[in-house]
Structure 1
Amino acid sequence: MTTSTAISIETIWAEYRTSLKAFLTKNVSNHADVDDLLQEILIKSYNSLDKIQDTKKLKSWLFQIANHTIIDFYRKRARNQTSELQDQHDWALEESEDIFEQMTDCITPFINGLPPEEAELLTAVELNGVAQKAYAAQQDIKYSTLKSRVQKSRQSLYSLFNQCCDFHLDAKGNLVSYTRKIGKDCGGKC
């Protein structure tokens, strides 16, 4: 049995660097990342060299370090991507909240511009948050009939909005921005 003090990192690296790099290249596509990970493995193995007791296990020990380094690399990348996506989502959410805040003052006047039955329905369901089933029961109408009326009323409201504004939606149909149509008289609604 040979102890790690009898082996230098230079000797280990001369013998295993090429096979470690090949292993990394097989598992990581970017050559710059491979070089960075190879350096990281060198540092980790140097710092832990005193822990190896049996040089017969040296190769498996090095490849275990390499494998853990690759796993850590992909975990870190996934966290960074998740963080970037969260930042993009937060920015988009802030933007949409700003748009909705801007449009909040417009909603009530536009709803009030609808026929009274539609205005009452949308005020209850959309502004006051009354569940559609509960509203149907209050009005003594079938739930399926109410759902149809809500859809029709929403379309009427959209038509009123559309007379005064152009809406810009993202790929998922979410409101991204809007612009007021120039020269349109919206009756002071917005």
Structure 2
Amino acid sequence: MLAEWESHKQQLRSYIARQISDQEVVEDILQEVFIKASDNLQQLKAKGSLRSWLYTITRNTIIDYYRKRTNYEELPDDLAQESKDLIEQNYKVLSGCLRPLLQELPDKYRIPLELSELEGMSQQDVATSLGLSLSGAKSRVQRGRAKLRELMLACCEFEMSKGEITDFTPKSETGKKCYDRVRKRYT
């Protein structure tokens, strides 16, 4: 391996130097490529493909270098974190707005959705109680969710963080009335 490495070393150095201007970093990356190639020599399938294999390792090492190098600004220590209480309060207000929005849905979607999501019934039980097939009940629940989502997005703008709704702002008159009525109840 050492003899083959010496024959490709200068070409690899030039390749790295075209990607990175700092000569010390070029040498560090070249050394890292040699270590990776030595450690993974058993992965080389044919001796004739050594050159392309070394270039692949080199290219990936350069990509890793730039990924690690990404600068991030430190956040200030005094940055306010969303309190769980505020998030819980937002959920209560938002859940209070769901009932009026559910009432806007046609009965064929509203009833299966309420039974499934609010009453906690299985979709099989929803199907049985409404005289529907299981696939019919599932379809109505899914369509009800989609229509409820459309209504929610039409009424409010949502702010998300880590998969949770951290805040929302009503954007329609209906949304504002609901928001004000429910906010008074929980604040």
Q: TM-score range by the shorter chain?
A: 0.3 to 0.5
Asked which structure has the greater CA Rg, the reply is 1
- TM-score for both structures, normalised by structure 1: 0.45
